[in-house]
Homo-oligomer: A and B are copies of this chain.
Amino acid sequence: MSDTRSQIVEVADKLFYERGYEHTSFADIAAVVGLSRGNFYYHFKTKDDILDAVIQLRERKTEVLLDGWAEQAHTPMERLDQFIGMMVMNGPQIRRYGCPVGTLCTELAKLEHPALPRASMLFTLFRQWLADQFTQLGFGDRADVLAMHLLARSQGIATMANAFDDEQFIRHETEQLQAWLRTLVPTALTN
């Protein structure tokens, strides 16, 4: 994998997030990387190939992110807090561009793009990681349902914060989410 190639994927990742997949052209990516449009096709034959590479990159980044959280936080509850904290930390980006995973899935669904299942796999990575934490908290039978609930809540927050360009809303709703987690789990179990 050449350095130019990974540069292309990094830039495409960013532009697909900020402008959307369809609205990002080869020329846009090439301009940022500092490449001619023609040379582009040495690295990627089609736009779908770039999308595949971007999704793959995001998979790797997500795994690194989740592993990092697992290292930094030692209890399941603290790890769930890391997930919620991500929304606050990424507030400015979410306000402008929404959630990278959610907005990509939304776009691909409308395009009836064959890569949609691969994009929603990014959700699945979070889903399984969150379910793991709930399992460790003793919700074995409801772990997946709770994980999906938490994901949905975060998606709703991102969509509304994006539509209304409202960062205060993120802070308020994430506090609500943390409160919900606390009512869910008896305090004794959180440490």
Across the interface, which residues of B come within 8 angstroms of A107, CB to CB? 20, 106-107
Interface 9-mer from A3-11, A75-83, A159-167: A159-167
Whether A163 and B110, one on each chain, are in contact in the complex, defined by CB atoms closer than 8 angstroms, is no
Counting every copy of the chain, the complex holds: 2
A5 to B149, CA, bound (A): 43
Closest-by-CB residue of B relative to A153 is B156
Q: Closest CB of chain B to A127's CB: distance in Å?
A: 9
Whether A149 and B173, one on each chain, are in contact in the complex, defined by CB atoms closer than 8 angstroms, is yes
Q: Closest CB of chain B to A102's CB: distance in Å?
A: 5
Across the interface, which residues of B come within 8 angstroms of A159, CB to CB? 102, 105-106, 152, 155-156, 159
Q: Which of A's residues lie within 8 Å of B, judged by CB?
A: 18-20, 22-23, 96-98, 102-103, 105-107, 109-111, 116, 119-120, 123, 145, 148-149, 151-157, 159-160, 162-164, 169, 172-173, 176
